[in-house]
Amino acid sequence: MKQIKLFDPAIGNNEKKVVNKILKSGFWASGSGTGYVQKFEEKFNDYIGSKSCVAVNSGTAALHLALNLENVKNKEVILPSLSFVSTAHAILYNGGKPIFVDVNPETLCIDPEEIEKAITKKTSVILPVHFGGMACDMSKISKISKEHNITIIEDAAHAVGTKSLNKKIGRHGKYVCFSFHPVKNLAMPNGGAITINEEKFLHSTNFLKSMRWCGISNRKGTKYDITNLGWNFYMNELSAGIGIEQLKKLDKNNIKRKNIAKRYSEELDIETKMKFQKDCSYHIFWIQVKNREQFMIKMKEEEIETGIHYLPIHKMSFYKKFSKKLQITEDVAKKIVSLPIHPNLSEKDITRIIKSVNKFM
């Protein structure tokens, strides 16, 4: 029986060709972001409809830099606990304090009412995560941010191609952080980006570019100055070359993901599962099952890989001191399972997954 993977990057000949070309060129990296990196930034900026885009080497680095710009030191940042740990790490890297709040049980995105309750004089940033590619309730979150004068930085690691994050339809955060990790909808060996949506924040672009490459600025030929303690976060040419090819087929691949999600939402005999929504880019499709361990073993015996996204961050040893009771997150975290959802799945594979899930329910 063929193994069905949980994640599987959709690559073709064009990715192979561009990798070969870059390998042969001998030009694999430029910290300042010329060549393919610059091209990727232009194309992604165009795709999102943002005002500027700075490419980096991971979603983690994107969050790290965006929060650095806001200077969250000794301030509070509100986030969901149901996320990859980078969302919280990025706050600690910058000396901020993560304030975990609960999620909406229907979408598993941060609950705006819980955000409101968590605001204090020290709140500096709201950091929503568009869980599984489903956009958070950004109109409510934006309203809260305006009323309390708090910045929004979005973790859109799951949401490359979620249409409501596109400027032409609606944009909300000061900075939007993307990940191009190999399992993401736009896959690279590693990569990430920060997009800036508003003209008035455009001045941050040069600072971000300097910070992603060791604080280098004022380059003139071979001479430069160091104006800040930056990091080595720049994107390499190979990732950017692959990213340009991935971007060309992103919408087509996201439609494939949506079609799979539609079948899952209609054909899975499960009470609690991810809803079907046209705007969602379906990086993840989640279901909730009572006997998760048994269920995952049985799926594995059927050669179908499943996953858990996520074990909540506030329950991790390292985050103990920031922990508090988050009822919905904790209930969900005991039952949540991710099913395969990627463009390499055939109709036959999807039918096999649905039949297996229904058999074990």
Ligand X SMILES: Cc1ncc(COP(=O)(O)O)c(C=O)c1O
Cis ω before 264 (30° cut-off from 0): no
Minimum CB separation of residue 219 from ligand X in Å reads 27
59 binds ligand X (CB under 6 A): yes
With contacts defined by CB under 6 A, how many residues of the chain interact with ligand X? Answer: 14
33 binds ligand X (CB under 6 A): no
- Token pair listed for 303: 């050669």
58 binds ligand X (CB under 6 A): yes
Which of 349, 338, 337 lies closest to 263, judged by CA? 349
Return the number of the residue (53 or 357) whose C-beta is nearest ligand X.
53
Residues 152-191: x/- map of binding to ligand X (CB under 6 A)? Answer: ---x-xx--------------------x-x----------
Minimum CB separation of residue 89 from ligand X in Å reads 9
Residue 55: its H or E element:
strand 52-56
Output DSSP code: residue 294. Answer: H
Which of 131, 62, 124, 55 lies closest to 336, judged by CA? 131
Minimum CB separation of residue 192 from ligand X in Å reads 5
Return the number of the residue (171 or 184) whose C-beta is nearest ligand X.
184
Which of 153, 155, 135, 136 lies closest to 75, judged by CA? 153
Residues 215-254: x/- map of binding to ligand X (CB under 6 A)? Answer: ----------------------------------------
Task: Give the total residue count for the chain.
Answer: 361
84 binds ligand X (CB under 6 A): yes
DSSP-derived 3-state class of residue 274: coil
60 binds ligand X (CB under 6 A): yes
Which of 134, 109, 129, 83 lies closest to 282, judged by CA? 134
Minimum CB separation of residue 156 from ligand X in Å reads 8
Q: Which stretch binds ligand X (CB under 6 A): 53-61, 110-118, 209-217, 232-240?
A: 53-61
- Token pair listed for 287: 């279901």
83 binds ligand X (CB under 6 A): yes
Site for ligand X (CB under 6 A): which residue of 77, 129, 138, 153?
129
Contact 197, 54 (CB under 8 A): no
Please, which residues bridge with residue 285 across strands?
Answer: 339
How many alpha carbons lie under 13 Å from residue 83 in its C-beta half-sphere? 31
Output DSSP code: residue 185. Answer: S
151 binds ligand X (CB under 6 A): no
Return the number of the residue (92 or 270) whose C-beta is nearest ligand X.
92
Measure the CA–CA gap between 274 and 267, rounded to whole angstroms. 12
Q: Which stretch binds ligand X (CB under 6 A): 19-27, 31-39, 57-65, 204-212?
A: 57-65
Return the number of the residue (155 or 245) whose C-beta is nearest ligand X.
155
Which of 35, 85, 46 lies closest to 314, judged by CA? 85
Return the number of the residue (59 or 98) whose C-beta is nearest ligand X.
59
Minimum CB separation of residue 186 from ligand X in Å reads 11
Residue 16: its H or E element:
helix 13-25
Please, which residues bridge with residue 307 across strands?
Answer: 338
192 binds ligand X (CB under 6 A): yes
Minimum CB separation of residue 84 from ligand X in Å reads 4
Q: Which residues bind ligand X (CB under 6 A)?
A: 58-60, 83-84, 86-87, 129, 155, 157-158, 179, 181, 192
